[in-house]
Structure 1
Amino acid sequence: MNKRAVMHPGVKLRHVRAFLDIAAERSLTAVARAQGVTQPALSRTLMELETLLGQQLFLRQGRRLVLTEAGALFRRHAAMAVEALDAGAAALRPEISGVVRVGVLPTAATRLFPRVVLRFRELRPEMVLAVETGPHHHLIRLLREGGIELMVGRLPDVSEIPGLSFEHLYEEDIVLVGRAGHPLAKRPTVEALAGSELILPSATALIRRPVDDYLASLGLVGILPIAETVSLALGRGVCLASDALWFISRGVVAEELERGLMVEFPVGVKFLSGAVGVTRRRGVPAPGVATLEEVAREVARQAALDEEKG
């Protein structure tokens, strides 16, 4: 049975690649310079694509180009399509393998990212995920220097965003946890805090500032913690062997809470939460990156559905 093609046959790969470059740089001038073409020629290519698709893909905001809703939707699918074509070409040369280098912060490393790894393997078996873990400042530096292609974790500070893009995946709160059977588990949280040793997030961790603000709001300042860490292995070990309480992102200890090894002490405030997502450099993504981003979206959506169900 013949099916009418949805996309106009006049759309060429050059149109799509030009669109993706412009979407990444948000500038005709920068892309024209990088491609060695004139700006009017690049502008004509973009206009041709918009005409063939029957949609406006960009809006002008000063000197920058911003994707319309239609443009953002097309970008997601176009990036995946170009990656698939590149993968097809690579499959003809099996001696060539690809590596996607990604940084993962503790908040995503325990629960979200293992699922991402397995799903990515199903979709791109010819590629290897080289995963770097560590503190936020370390991964941001690697991202800027090109040591990793993207970072999965909390939203960077506003001072770190220039030159980078962030895509929100989900919201995650900071929890206060202790071992199951903690003697102060049924007491008011402020009383438990005052009567227990504390483990605080590392001084360089993004979650440290809101934790300090929360403690200050309770009049608990100048606390000397037993340790500073966002490491599951260390924080979990200290908590389970003592009556220490630990401020940490929920994703790090979600399984310990579900299995009943640890209990949560209610903090009763909303500002102990923040966005978790994907951060990467502006520009055309390396092979495999668009697939990895889509997998992260898929896994985050499924996790949210699972949480609603149960």
Structure 2
Amino acid sequence: MIMHPAIKLRHIRAFLDIAANGTLSAVARAQGITQPALSRTLAELEDLLGATLFLREKRRLVLTDNGVLFRRHAAAALQMLEAGAEALHPSGHGGRLRVGVLPTAATRLFPRVALRFRHAAPRVTLSVETGPHSHLVRLLRDGGIDLMIGRMPAASDMAGLRFEHLYEDRIALVSAAHHPMRGQPVAQVLARCPLILPPADALIRRAVDEYLLARNLASVQPAFETAALAVGRGILAGSDALWFISGGVVEDELDRGDLVQWETGAGFLSGAVGMTRRQAAPGQPSLELLARLTHETVLDGHII
């Protein structure tokens, strides 16, 4: 089947934006059009394709199987068009680059890289997606993002992807600086104080669970589960809780003295941080520039 000639680039961009956001209202605001107009654009695309691309679940639009399939190809096609436009003006580095950033890289590494990138390629818009590992890996596979920066995915998630190592990031155990049990054995403190653990699906959760199991603390029920800096920092500030979290998330808070790190005595509480991208992705000058600047930022010693 040949693609219907009435399908325009505006249909493709609208579809990809809705797929990434999940709501019509936010995309309509971002595009400067009304929600009914955006809804008509989506309906036109589905009619022209002869397929339903989204299902409505409560207030969100969720991709159907056909939508997932079309998104993968549409994103790749749009990326190749943008790469072609860039190739005509290689010194300008225009366009948009979509990057997924995991919590461990979001606080210190990526902001520094983003500022360097802005200086080197001021005509490129960095569109940044955050969220849990599973969400970003799915976006990467479907073409919703061009690159993911953060901890190395599990081996089961690496099919069709490639990982470039940047550095090792420790899992830190932190608390507020004024914690009343500072100086006491960490095992006793963990048994008596509320714990904040990474979410169950976080890459670092297994290592934390193994650490607690080795110290006969596996039965301790966590009070909270989060990898969000704002949430964890707020809970620590108002309690005597302790938080297991990637060191990169709280590096600035530790440097300022707002949080303190507890010695765990476990060298295995660390993991690789790097850049993950699709193996078959076409070359993109702005993407290669971002990758180079990321490596340079790490080598300059501003991260570790």
- Give the alignment's TM-score, normalised by structure 1: 0.68
How far apart in 2 are the matches of 1:84 and 1:297?
22
Structure 2 residue aligned with 1:263? 260
**Does residue 291 of the first structure (1) align with residue 289 of the second (2)?**
yes
Q: 2:134 aligns with which of 134, 137, 141?
A: 137
How far apart in 2 are the matches of 1:181 and 1:161?
42
**Does residue 277 of the first structure (1) align with residue 265 of the second (2)?**
no
How far apart in 2 are the matches of 1:142 and 1:285?
18
Deviations 1:201-221 (A, max 9, x none): 011110000000000000001
Structure 1 residue aligned with 2:157? 160
Q: Is this contact kept in 1: 2:97–2:126, CA < 8 A?
A: yes
How far apart in 2 are the matches of 1:91 and 1:161?
31
Spell out the pairing of 1:37-52 with structure 2 (5 A cutoff): none
Spell out the pairing of 1:98-247 with structure 2 (5 A cutoff): 98-247=95-244
Unaligned runs of 5+ in 1: 1-82
Structure 1 residue aligned with 2:248? 251
- How far apart are residue 252 of structure 1 and its match? 0.5
Cα distance 1:122–1:87, how it changes in 2: closer, same or farther (>3 A)? farther
Aligned residues between the structures? 222
How far apart in 1 are the matches of 2:191 and 2:87?
60
- How far apart are residue 143 of structure 1 and its match? 0.3
Structure 2 residue aligned with 1:89? 88
How far apart in 2 are the matches of 1:137 and 1:175?
22
Max Rg structure: 1
Unaligned runs of 5+ in 2: 1-81
How far apart in 2 are the matches of 1:235 and 1:303?
26
- How far apart are residue 171 of structure 1 and its match? 0.5
**One-letter amino acid matched to 1:89:** L
How far apart in 2 are the matches of 1:266 and 1:117?
32
- Give the alignment's TM-score, normalised by structure 2: 0.69
Q: Matched residues, percent identical?
A: 52
